[in-house]
Structure 1
Amino acid sequence: MSESSQLPVPLPSPCPPRPPFWRNPWFWVVLAVLGLAFWQWFETRTRLADTQQELARRLAESEQTVKESATLVSKAMEQTAELQRKYGALEARLGEFQGQADALRGLYQEAAISRDDALLAEAEQGINIAVQQLQLSGNVQAAILALQSADERLARLERPQFLPLRRTLARDLERLRATPFVDVPGMNLRLENVIVGVDKLPLAMELLPHDKAQAADGAAQEPASWWAKLLQEGWQELKELVRIQRFDRQEPVLLSVDQSLILRENIKLRLLNARLALLSRDQWTFRNELKVAHGWLEQYFNTEEKSVQAALAALKQLSATDIAVEFPSLNDSLSALQTLKAGREKR
């Protein structure tokens, strides 16, 4: 055969061209994962910076609050010293009245006086005791009992000359019974209970956030298998991408241990000042001290706890009570008694 009659040898077909890498779907998956990781890293850095700035601002505010609290403590101590001085003067005056009453009883026992004079002396003693109870402690019930005792002593002899004095005593008794009753011992006991419980009230900053509580529960129930743990971590990361936060209320103030102790001592000092104002019938000081203590409890303590709610309710109820009651004067009874005694001396 000739060379021209030979069949041509087929050449091998060329390989199809490889598609570019950007058409590979795994490339985009990897790129998306890297982008998500970079975005989360950047978001975390931003949050850390914001948290540091907020912490610095709150620390500055806390220092300012401590300075203001120190100023308030000094003022409160001055007011407490003044109230204690007044209370000491009242106690001294009460001691004088008691000494005078003892001396008067001794004179009555030593002197040989008539039955009518002794009866008038007992009535005068009862009226003086009623006056002292109203002036020193504002005890209306004790004053009523003292006047009733004086009237009963005068009624024993049924003397006509005692009738004007008895009518005056009856009018004073009616005015005393119409006076609003203020339960000072009960209010003092409620204030004492609040003061004792201040150290046990939980602060607002001691609350465990909801997401941290869930994290603690999840850590306690950690899955055993690695794939379940991986799914759980992925779900937690996904939930952190969206965060819902309330802005309709103020965040709790961060306090150190020393600051929290100072805060509790300041509240107790305010309540002690309120007790002194209650005993001295100082309405403005009493309500002002309770208002300040009530505001501090609402601002720094967990108002969702029942103990804090009970303390707030007690302070609110005490502040609404009117302690500045104007007591009636017993000058009419004293004048009627002096007139009766002067008439007997002329005889």
Structure 2
Amino acid sequence: MPVTESNAQLPAPIEKHQQARQRLWPLWIVTLLALALAIALAFWSWQQWNNYQSLQQSITSLESDTEQLDRMYGQTGSEQSQRLQALEDKLSEQRELIATQQRQIDHNARELLEAGNRTRTDWLLAEAEYLLRIANQRLMIEKDIRGALAALESADEVLAESDDIGVYPVRQQLAKEILALKGLADVDRTGLYLKLEAAIDSIHQLTESALVHDRAPGFFTGSDSGSQDNGDAEPGLVAEAWHEVKQTLSQVVVVRRMDEPVKPLLSPEQSAYARLNLQLMLEEAELAVLRGHQELYSRALTKASNAIDNWYDSSNTRITALSKTLDELSEKNVDPELPDISRSLELLKSRLAGRLDNGDSEGNGQQNSANSEQGDAS
């Protein structure tokens, strides 16, 4: 076999640099993939970091909001508790008011039920009881004899209109009490009070001339008429000189007679104090008149009369009239002995209670009879 044919059948030789180039491309692919993966991992980490920062800010904001809400809730809770307490208090008050109104409604209902069962006689007896209460109040508290007498007489007239024979003991006692009041001397408290007011006004009108002054009895100066006659009898310069000496001595020396009591002199301040003192004494007497206190009334008028005698001139016309008025007022009795007029009221109360009991028993009897009739009908 020729050599050329055997050489022609051998494969072609492969170059070494082509084989090496063909083996590097997977490495580049792996490198690119690793780089892409690193970039993706870095981007993902960056996003996670941003998310973490946002989450941290959100948590901080939530904590601050939570604290603010806690504070607000604390304040709101206290306010709500106060409002609830106020509402509970108001609710309790409303409950008490409703309970009171309910009791009042029940009471009114009972009164109306009782009023419907009353007769004309019951109404007249109730009116007489009211008049007797008024009479006792006028006499015992106000000490008004005239008003108490008028109330007793009106009550007797009302009882006379009733057809109840059980009021005979009440009217009998009323007759005794009316007679006892008529036997008393009525005290005109209004008149006494007005007279004392007039006396106080007269005290305010007193002037300085009404006070004890240097013209009081037992007081005189040395310049009297006898000395002037003796001076005129002496002739010449000696008489004139003597007259001048006596005039000078009369202005310096004062002679008083001690055979009569001497009243003290008053200054303007003392005179004002005296008037005020008299006014207070008479106002005390007015208070005693209104209260019906005889001892206080007499003591006040006695002190006022003594003050007038000690500090004022009895020859003054106003003082004379004032003293006479006080003497007349001191004779009045402002606290007469009052009788007891409560017995008639007690008798009438007993009669009203008896009629009420009889009415209840009659009503119960009627109800029992009605029940029995219903039972028979059934």
* CA distance in 1: counterparts of 2:116 and 2:271, whole angstroms: 65
* CA distance in 2: counterparts of 1:191 and 1:213, whole angstroms: 44
Larger radius of gyration: 2
The question of 1:197 aligning with 2:202 is answered yes
Q: CA RMSD in A?
A: 3.6
User: Partner letter of residue 199 of structure 1?
Assistant: H
TM-aligned CA deviation for residue 211 of structure 1? 6.5
Evaluate the alpha carbon distance shift between residue 116 and residue 248 of structure 1 in structure 2; reply closer, same or farther with a 3 A threshold. farther
The question of 1:163 aligning with 2:168 is answered yes
The question of 1:340 aligning with 2:348 is answered no
TM-aligned CA deviation for residue 114 of structure 1? 2.1
TM-aligned CA deviation for residue 247 of structure 1? 3.5
Which residue number in structure 2 is paired with residue 184 of structure 1?
A: 189
Superposed, which structure 2 residues align to 1:117-128 within 5 Å?
Answer: 117-128=122-133
Q: Which runs of 4+ in 1 moved over 3 A?
A: 110-113, 206-215, 243-249
Which residue number in structure 1 is paired with residue 7 of structure 2?
A: none
User: Any stretches of 5+ residues in structure 2 without a counterpart?
Assistant: 1-110, 229-236, 359-378
Counterpart of 1:139 (choices 138, 144, 147) is 144
TM-aligned CA deviation for residue 213 of structure 1? 11
Where 2:141 maps in the other structure, the secondary structure is helix
Count of residues paired in the alignment: 228
Evaluate the alpha carbon distance shift between residue 214 and residue 305 of structure 1 in structure 2; reply closer, same or farther with a 3 A threshold. farther
TM-aligned CA deviation for residue 330 of structure 1? 1.2
Residue pair 2:159, 2:167 contacting (<8 A) in 1 also: yes
User: Partner letter of residue 205 of structure 1?
Assistant: H
Which residue number in structure 2 is paired with residue 297 of structure 1?
A: 308
Which residue number in structure 1 is paired with residue 324 of structure 2?
A: 313
**Deviation per residue, 1:250-272 (Å, 9 max, x gap):** 22312221121111111111111
* CA distance in 2: counterparts of 1:301 and 1:178, whole angstroms: 41
* CA distance in 1: counterparts of 2:308 and 2:318, whole angstroms: 11
Evaluate the alpha carbon distance shift between residue 170 and residue 214 of structure 1 in structure 2; reply closer, same or farther with a 3 A threshold. farther
Residue pair 2:167, 2:348 contacting (<8 A) in 1 also: no
TM-aligned CA deviation for residue 214 of structure 1? 8.7
* CA distance in 2: counterparts of 1:154 and 1:271, whole angstroms: 45
With a CA cutoff of 8 Å and minimum separation of 6, indicate the structure with the bigger relative contact order.
Answer: 1
**What TM-score do the two structures reach when normalised by structure 1?**
0.57
Residue pair 2:129, 2:349 contacting (<8 A) in 1 also: no
Which residue number in structure 1 is paired with residue 274 of structure 2?
A: 263
User: Partner letter of residue 211 of structure 2?
Assistant: L
User: Any stretches of 5+ residues in structure 1 without a counterpart?
Assistant: 1-105, 219-226
* CA distance in 1: counterparts of 2:222 and 2:338, whole angstroms: 59
The question of 1:281 aligning with 2:292 is answered yes
**Deviation per residue, 1:260-294 (Å, 9 max, x gap):** 11111111111111111121122221111111111
* CA distance in 2: counterparts of 1:310 and 1:336, whole angstroms: 52
TM-aligned CA deviation for residue 207 of structure 1? 4.4
**What TM-score do the two structures reach when normalised by structure 2?**
0.53
Superposed, which structure 2 residues align to 1:78-117 within 5 Å?
Answer: 113-117=118-122
Which residue number in structure 2 is paired with residue 31 of structure 1?
A: none
Identity across matched positions, percent: 30
* CA distance in 1: counterparts of 2:158 and 2:223, whole angstroms: 74
* CA distance in 2: counterparts of 1:187 and 1:126, whole angstroms: 28
